[in-house]
Amino acid sequence: MPSHLHFDEDDFLRCRFAVSPLWETQEAVRTLRRPDRHGYHAPWLRRIRAVAAGLDLTPLWLLMPWRGHTPDWLMPPPTGPAASVEEELAALRAVDPETARADTARSLADTPGAPKSATARAWLDDPPRMVRELTDALEEAWEVLVAPDWPRLRALLEADIAFHSRRLAEVGLGGLLPELHPRLGWRAGTLTVESAGVYERRLGGQGLVLMPSVFTWPDVISTFDPPARPALVYPARGIGGLWTDPADSTPDALVRLLGRGRAAVLAALAEPAATTALAHRLRLAPSSVSAHLAALRDAGLLTSRRYGHQVLYERTPLGIALASGTSDGRPVPR
């Protein structure tokens, strides 16, 4: 059944992209219990299995029904394009406990038996305690499950935003939105989302926050109720290669031509990325990666542009051809 988000004239001017570390934490926790999400993330799941076993994620899972409402207060769209996890956690701790209680009770009702559990009864009897305990649980999940890989995840999310920002300039909002997910459609100022339930919302001049997500795949999410900001969360591009070690895919011929360090950097830039993210992914010192990036840019293989507080690097057509071992984008015959 479809859900509908209706745009007014002012909404077209107030759509923006955002990245949320807290959202990725929520969805990483959810992914641990969703086998349908495991395909792209198998290497990550194997690596974090032992540390994840040491977390008590039961309270968070209690509010993540397979089909139903997850509390909006626990996963609000970010207030800015790149809020830090510290800012997002502080906002959670400042949530009005009674608002959180009502929202949580609605979520518990979607999970059979949940409202009668001792944990649920304690939360509903003491909302400030509930806000504190759930925020603490999310903070711990962030530190264990997501923070070690955040530079890599953030680089992929920012690359998605860079790509879709260009598409927005090329095809406009009505052309872009259906490209984000097969379940999205656009007609006459209304975004349609094929979903399990029926949902209607007029954006009322607030615009729409567009959030790429690593762990949301294969879902698309849009049902945020007022007063939460209207948001659309969609799977980020490039997650198929997210957990691949770039060193394993650096062509030998490229290594012989450029040297191992520069070849690894060029091969790793299948999507735009910043220096710190590349250093983390390649396990190289940031100073070394910075020197390689400068040399590759001076050789005409990369371009750079500023995004927020970071500089993103991406391949030029020449860099793409060289990294793929071609002169025209096609494999070289052997």
Residue-wise pLDDT tens digits, 81-135: 778 999 999 999 999 999 999 999 999 988 887 777 899 899 999 999 999 999 9
Residue 227: cis peptide before it, omega within 30 degrees of 0: yes
Q: Quick one: which of 286, 279, 317 has its CA closest to 300?
A: 317
Amino acid at 319: G
d(CA 159, CA 293): 17
Asked if pLDDT for residue 1 goes beyond 70, the answer is no
Mean pLDDT of 6-11: 92
Task: Please say whether the beta carbons of 34 and 97 come within 8 A.
Answer: no
Helix (H, G, I), strand (E, B) or coil at 314: strand
Q: Which of 4-13, 82-91, 125-134, 234-243 has the lowest mean pLDDT?
A: 234-243
pLDDT computed for residue 231 by the predictor: 92
Mean model confidence pLDDT for the chain: 87
Q: Which of 113-117, 186-190, 248-252, 285-289 has the lowest mean pLDDT?
A: 248-252
pLDDT computed for residue 331 by the predictor: 39
d(CA 42, CA 49): 10
Mean pLDDT of 227-236: 90
Residues 6+ away with beta carbon under 8 Å from 163: 237, 271, 272
CA angle, 97 then 103 then 109, to 5°: 130
Residue-wise pLDDT tens digits, 143-190: 999 999 998 898 888 888 888 988 999 999 999 999 999 999 999 999
**Sign for the pseudo-dihedral over CA of 157, 188, 76, 108:** negative
pLDDT computed for residue 330 by the predictor: 41
The model's pTM is 0.77
Residue-wise pLDDT tens digits, 33-80: 998 888 889 899 999 999 999 999 999 999 998 888 889 999 888 877
Mean pLDDT of 191-206: 86
Helix (H) or strand (E) holding 255: helix 252-258
Taken in order of first residue, the domains within the chain and their CATH numbers are: 2-235 (no CATH), 244-323 (1.10.10.10)
CA dist 63 to 32, 42, 104, Å?
A: 14, 24, 7
pLDDT band for position 333 (cuts 50, 70, 90): very low
Q: What long-range pairs does 79-87 form, CB within 8 A, spacing at least 24?
A: 80/18, 81/16, 81/17, 81/18, 81/19, 81/308, 82/18, 82/19, 82/308, 82/309, 83/18, 83/20, 83/21, 84/21, 85/21, 85/22, 85/25, 85/142, 85/147
pLDDT computed for residue 177 by the predictor: 94
Dihedral (C-alpha) 287, 293, 297, 299: value to the nearest 10 degrees?
A: 100
Task: Please say whether the beta carbons of 62 and 111 come within 8 A.
Answer: yes
For the chain, percent of residues with pLDDT exceeding 90? 49
**Sign for the pseudo-dihedral over CA of 177, 178, 180, 183:** positive
